[in-house]
């Protein structure tokens, strides 16, 4: 199996997708054969909403956000003709995130996110994402989102790898 996008992107301490963040969700994203990307995640009991059986909406937003931004970066490396993480870093951040929460997301089973790059225009990349049952059973997704990823300049490197509160000593 190929490494996850996140295992190839350097300097990533993100709570949702940073391998270096010891308290984070550490989600992992991969290309699918049809050009979309997927991420399977097993929610944890403490990530519950008010009712204990469902996933908190902020956790859902983080999963969608991070899976899509990492997909944007992977796509940008591909457009540049480079392997992810090779050469000058390519970084995207979230400019906009729009989520429709369509049905409660069960907390006691794995969930799957599938993202697609819809459009690239200059520094902006639009992606769509659905969060669904891991079997991709033909039912309504639990959530559907669109996201605007925006490329940031390489001088953002000055923000990278500052000793972080997220690193446990
Ligand atoms: C430090 C190292 C990083 C390492 C990263 C590792 C992986 C990280 C993984 C993280 C994963 C988790 C992800 C996270 O949690 S990322 C954390 C959440 N996001 C942020 O904190 C972003 C905060 N915002 C900014 O820093 C700036 O506003 C950005 C950089 C986004 C734009 O700044 P600026 O305005 O100076 O950029 P520009 O003038 O070059 O504009 C370019 C184009 O974009 C258009 N536009 C601008 N803003 C928006 C907007 N909000 N919606 C729609 N469009 C917008 C703009 O009109 C223009 O369009 P056009 O005129 O070309 O048509």
Q: Which residue has the tokens 């989102």?
A: 145
| Residue 152 Cα: closest atom of ligand 1 | 30
**pLDDT for res 77:** 97
pLDDT in tens, 69-106: 999 999 999 999 999 999 989 999 999 999 999 999 99
CB neighbourhood size of 110 (10 A)? 12
Domains present along the chain, CATH in parentheses: 5-153 (3.10.129.10)
151 alpha carbon – ligand 1 mean position (Å): 6
**pLDDT for res 79:** 97
The confidence band for 168, taking pLDDT boundaries of 50, 70 and 90, is low
pLDDT in tens, 36-47: 999 999 999 999
**pLDDT for res 91:** 93
95 closest CA partner among 141, 46, 151: 151
Is the full-model pTM beyond 0.90?
A: yes
113 closest CA partner among 127, 96, 93: 127
149 alpha carbon – ligand 1 mean position (Å): 7
Any idea what the Cα angle at residue 89 is, between residues 86 and 92, rounded to 5°? 125
Pocket-forming residues, ligand 1, beta carbon under 6 Å: 9, 11-12, 14, 16-17, 65-66, 69, 91, 93-96, 122-124, 148, 150, 152, 156, 159-160
The answer, yes or no, to whether residue 169 has pLDDT greater than 50, is no
pLDDT in tens, 111-165: 999 999 999 999 999 999 999 999 887 778 999 999 999 999 877 777 776 665 5
Rounded to a whole number of angstroms, the distance between the first and last alpha carbons of the chain is 32
């Amino acid at each position: 199996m190929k490494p996850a996008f996140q295992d190839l992107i350097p300097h990533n301490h993100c709570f949702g997708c940073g391998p270096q963040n010891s308290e984070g969700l550490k989600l992992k994203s991969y290309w699918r054969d049809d050009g979309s990307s997927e991420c399977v995640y097993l929610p944890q009991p403490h990530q519950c909403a008010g009712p204990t059986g469902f996933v908190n909406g902020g956790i859902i937003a983080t999963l969608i956000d991070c899976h899509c931004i990492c997909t944007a970066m992977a796509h940008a490396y591909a457009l540049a003709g480079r392997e992810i993480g090779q050469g000058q870093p390519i970084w995207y951040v979230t400019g906009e995130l729009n989520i429709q929460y369509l049905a409660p997301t069960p907390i006691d089973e794995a969930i799957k996110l599938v993202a697609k790059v819809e459009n690239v225009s200059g520094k902006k990349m639009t992606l769509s994402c659905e969060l669904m049952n891991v079997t991709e059973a033909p039912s309504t997704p639990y959530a559907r989102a669109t996201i605007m990823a925006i490329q940031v300049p390489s001088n953002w490197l000055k923000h990278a790898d500052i000793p972080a509160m997220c690193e446990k000593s």
